[in-house]
Amino acid sequence: MANNQEKLIELIAFGRALRKARKEIKLTQDQLSLYSRVDRSYISELENGEKAPSLLTIISLAKALQVKPSVLIESFEVELEEESTK
């Protein structure tokens, strides 16, 4: 089981992956919220590493970003590796 520091690093890494994916297709948080039906303030909390998404939230966000959920997770893994080496 991950300790609190590991969990924090994971949340930050997912947030960075989500933000990068959103910005790559030039969406605002408001637009992503509209397309994914995920509250904009929750998207902000995800991107800032303050909240952990559920599987259903990841699927909704991925659909709105027009990528497979696995692509979003792969991006998270890259960010996690980068964050872990800091």
The string of pLDDT tens digits covering residues 25-60 is 999 999 999 999 999 999 999 999 999 999 999 999
The string of pLDDT tens digits covering residues 62-85 is 999 999 999 999 999 999 999 878
Q: With bands split at pLDDT 50, 70 and 90, how would you rate the model's confidence at 2?
A: low
20-40 burial code (b ≥16 CB/10 A, e <16): ebbeeeebebeebbeebebee
Q: Per-domain residue ranges for the chain?
A: 4-84
Q: Domain 4-84 - what CATH class?
A: mainly alpha
54 vs 63: CA distance, rounded Å: 14
Q: What is the pTM of this model?
A: 0.92
Of residues 30 and 5, the one with the higher pLDDT is: 30
Q: What is the pLDDT of residue 84?
A: 77
